[in-house]
Amino acid sequence: MGQDLFQEYDFVREIFDAADDIASAHISRYCFKGPMETLTETVNLQPAVTAVNLACLTAIQRAGIACDFSAGHSLGEYSALTAAQVVSMADSLRLVFRRGELMHREALKNKGAMSAVIGLNIDAVNALVEAGRDAGVVSVANHNSAEQIVITGAPEAVAAVSAEAKARGARAIPLKVSGAWHSDLIKGAEDEFSAFLDSIPFASPVRPVIHNVTADSCGDAETIRQIMARQLCSPVRWYDTVCRLCDEKVTVFVEVGPGKVLAGLLKKIVPTDYEHRIFNVNNMKTVETLISALS
């Protein structure tokens, strides 16, 4: 991830150097060479993905491309805050590294699972989750699209809700995760992470950020800090976020960073008769494609 940008731009090397220093680990080496099992440990993956996000973001910003709105899915919200100048790049890396440390610690304490339920709407999944709590901790983690909803919690409870979803004709796909993210099973990290957030300077956004917790924007720095503390254990309202961006007449969507998952979700959420374009930016070629398309 990010190696061609690293080789091309001095400012990208500075971002990766900062990630290495903040994490006291070889984040850049894990991104470029692995091993995959080390890269995908939460404590390494969060600063690694964020470094790539910020590298891609900075590359397009330096080409003169600026966003009117920003949003990020879970971890990606920290890069969205940087895009809106709420937090600096270095502080974004500090936040996600600490977030990863705390989430990893809580995952070791409390075994968790996650599963993607496909084919039921949010009301139906919420009802199944409510009924499934007799089997243990379970909740909605991500409302990704109208009928793709990720559930999270104790393995037994997630399995029970998944079985009920299948009985109603849905698919339930277990996810390869190391913890029950966005659930009460990592709530033990919330107070410490909130205290760490208090140590980081937050500024009012120069452009709106649509937040995971509220699917709305906020202009107050202190309120954004509180929203980010809640984000750790709250559902990611991605479907509502994209709908809000459509309400704001956004017509160009750019997924910045590794992967194409969000672009895939956009294709499921944005109405087919809504005029729009979708781009991915995750390497030099896609940076150049975006610059060419928008210049």
Is residue 57 within 8 A of residue 71, CB to CB? The reply is no
Query: What pLDDT digit, counting tens, does each position of 15-66 carry?
Result: 999 999 999 999 999 999 999 999 999 999 999 999 999 999 999 999 999 9
pTM of the shown model = 0.96
Query: What pLDDT digit, counting tens, does each position of 181-204 carry?
Result: 999 999 999 999 999 999 999 999
How far is Cα 181 from Cα 152, in angstroms, rounded to an integer?
Answer: 7
CATH class in words for 3-107+184-294: alpha beta
How far is Cα 257 from Cα 233, in angstroms, rounded to an integer?
Answer: 23
Evaluate whether the domain defined by 113-174 bears CATH number 3.10.20.30: no
Among 114, 113, 179, which residue's Cα sits nearest to residue 148? 114
Q: Which residues are catalytic?
A: 74, 182
Q: Where are the domains of the chain?
A: 3-107+184-294, 113-174
Residue 137, phi then psi, degrees to nearest 5: -70, 125
How far is Cα 278 from Cα 258, in angstroms, rounded to an integer?
Answer: 15
